[in-house]
Chains A and B, each alone.
Chain A
Amino acid sequence: MRPTQITGRLWVLREAAGRLYNDIDTDMIFHNRYLHITEVTQMGPYALDNLKGWEDFARRARPGDLIMAGSNFGAGSSRQQAVDCFHALGIAAIIAESFGAIYKRNAINSGLPLVTFPGLTEVASRFESGDIVTVDFCTGALIRNGVERFQAQPFSKVQLEIYQAGNLFEYGKAVTG
């Protein structure tokens, strides 16, 4: 079984003005000039390299880190690479006010934990890059630096099942034999 509670170092994606980034689209996450790449292991260096102020994210991130963003994270195209580049870096989860619909599917299907946190924008000032955050996928409970508690949404049933199976392919085999 994969862990349903994880703890990691947080990256809060903010604009230069300090606001939580909204509407980060898939061209900012993984620009279309790299779409010829088919090996997941080669996608890491390009993660967020078209997001203003975060061009060097891939060099600063470490396996096990968490990402936090505003609403509609992953808007835009259907490219799987915008999810796979975070797998390549070993990102443990992405926490956001909301996610683009196709992006959400792609992440769920590949077993990348997405945590939807309605109301995050109002409490975003409580979080800083470097915070240590614990998140429970089953309950949605989120704890900052071991003391401050927040409530995000738990995984949906299908999300948890695919996450535990590993990916859509294994889930499909388990469900349909």
Chain B
Amino acid sequence: MGKTMIQKLFAAHTAPEASVEPGDIIWLDLDVRTARDFGGANVVQNYREHYGDAPVADPTRTFFTFDLVAPPSNIPYANNQQLCREWARSQGIRVYDVNAGIGSHVAIEEGLVHAGDTFVGTDSHLNLLGAMGAFGQGMGDQDIAFAFKSGRTWFEVPPTMKVVLQGTLRAPGTARDLTLAVLQRLGADGALGRAIEFHGPAIEALDLAGRITLASQVTEMGGLIGFPISEAIPSSLLPDHDADYIESIEIDITELEPLIACPPNPANVHPVRELAGKRIDSVFLGSCTNGRFEDFAAVAAIVKGQQLAPHVMATVVPATRRVYAQLLASGVLETLFEAGFIISNPGCGGCASGHLGMTGKGEVQVSTSNRNFPGKQGAGQTYLASPVTAAWSALRGEITVPEVRA
């Protein structure tokens, strides 16, 4: 029997004689180990408690990335970040500080991770690294403290499900709409404890930003990791033709219409047209799911020369400092600013409660972020949609089905 991609990747990171069939427990070598400002201080605390002043396994493969409360908006988080900084200094570990942006995206841009690598940290959306063919995984602070010290951890080899996307994405459809279509089909636990391989022409046509959008939402499907099978995957990792899948499903996106996830969870997906006309108060553009340059460029193309609806407060949070630089150099930033957007420094933005852009009771927000669980972004109601749907909605001041301009 052949092997799936996760089996091949795991086989290259464990003892040569180890079996990597689904359900097997293996010791997995971890190429890169990270922590961020959420969980980071707890990692340090666990590390000190169990290992004292002992050095980490390899400081050149260990990093901190501060991305959530950046810069800190209260003293406890400022304290936690400073505690991590000082400990990192004592260990010779590099810190990507509050100016850098979202850790997973920084890792891609800075070349900290490559196709075929294993990468862990205290961020449940690290699995978006599947977009470039790496195994990224969010873990708790005990797991990460252990990984800092040992450079590996135990892992149960997951079964793989195959999702084939047929058809071609057509405007105004975006990678986010394709992702929402998969969420609609799988639900919040349709991939529970599984790896996913995404196959098909619609997947091969996605750029890196689009693959990141899809891979980041595998967490919301209950999955461990999703690999969009594309040219980015080295041939040595491509699944065998006779690989064994626990389930195979096909989704045809030929007739895909713009979709939106309503409260109370990201899998509560409906066509945008069912909600068209619902008045909104705010828009959030960014997060690890839709915080790339391409996402903001798509918005700029729609709002150029126009003003947002006067009652809509709309915020742009680039994923990283490098994305911010691209926005500046290309003129996209200026277009968004002139349309009325609030432009924030890079980071996770509204995903961290208590930080930038919370919603109040009764507030309706359209967001390109990744979760809309009750209370996550505040007391209001969050609707998750593509940057294109969010842009049209921000202009009209109500949930709007995007139009295709000739």
By a beta-carbon cutoff of 8 Å, the part of chain A in contact with chain B is 22-23, 25, 27-28, 31-33, 35-38, 50, 52, 71-72, 75-81, 83, 98, 100-102, 104-106, 109-110, 156-158, 167-169, 172, 176
Contacts and interface: CB of A to CB of B under 8 A. Distances in A.
Nearest to A157: B25
Interface of B: 25, 38-39, 41-42, 45-46, 50, 74, 76-77, 79-80, 122-124, 137-143, 145-146, 150, 153-154, 156, 158, 188-189, 192-193, 219, 222-224, 265, 352-354, 371, 373-376
B142 A23 contact: no
B140 A78 contact: yes
A107 to B, nearest CB: 9
A22 B373 CA distance: 13
Contact of B143 (A23, A27, A106): A106
B354 A33 contact: yes
Given A27-B375, A72-B189, A80-B39, A169 B140 contact: no
Nearest to B358: A33
A28 B352 contact: no
Given A158-B25, A169-B50, A78 B123 contact: yes
Contacts of B353: 27, 31-33
11 contacts: A23-B189, A27-B376, A28-B373, A32-B352, A32-B354, A38-B41, A50-B375, A76-B219, A78-B138, A109-B142, A168-B142
B375 A105 contact: no
Q: Which 3 A-B pairs give the minimum distances between C-beta atoms? A: A36-B76, A80-B140, A78-B138
Nearest to B222: A72
A77 B353 CA distance: 13
Contacts of A156: 25, 156
Contacts of B45: 38
A38 B143 contact: no
Contacts of B156: 156, 158
Given A102-B124, A168-B142, A79 B80 contact: no
A75 B154 contact: no
B80 A36 contact: yes
B189 A71 contact: yes
Nearest to B265: A23
Given A79-B140, A102-B140, A106-B139, 18 more contacts: A23-B189, A25-B265, A27-B353, A28-B374, A35-B38, A36-B80, A38-B45, A72-B192, A80-B142, A81-B42, A98-B193, A101-B192, A104-B193, A106-B143, A110-B140, A158-B154, A168-B142, A169-B142
A4 to B, nearest CB: 19
B373 A27 contact: yes
B371 A76 contact: yes
Contacts of A104: 193
A100 B219 CA distance: 9
Contacts of B76: 36-37
Nearest to B41: A38
Contacts of A79: 38-39, 122, 140
A37 B76 CA distance: 8
Contacts of B189: 22-23, 71-72, 75, 98
Contact of B146 (A32, A37, A101, A168): A168
Contacts of A25: 265, 371, 373
A6 B249 CA distance: 41
A80 B375 contact: no
Contacts of A52: 374
Given A28-B374, A98-B189, A172-B150, A83 B140 contact: yes
B152 to A, nearest CB: 9
B145 to A, nearest CB: 8
A75 B222 contact: yes
Contact of B140 (A32, A72, A98, A105): A105
Contacts of B146: 109, 168-169, 172
A157 to B, nearest CB: 7
A23 B374 CA distance: 12
A172 B50 CA distance: 11
Contacts of A172: 146, 150
A37 B139 CA distance: 17
B38 A76 contact: no
A59 B224 CA distance: 34
Contacts of B77: 36
Contacts of B124: 76-78, 102
B380 to A, nearest CB: 14
Contacts of B122: 78-79
A59 B142 CA distance: 27
A101 B193 contact: yes
A167 B137 CA distance: 20
B344 to A, nearest CB: 18
Contacts of B142: 80, 106, 109-110, 167-169
Nearest to A173: B50
Nearest to B25: A158
B141 to A, nearest CB: 4
A109 B373 contact: no
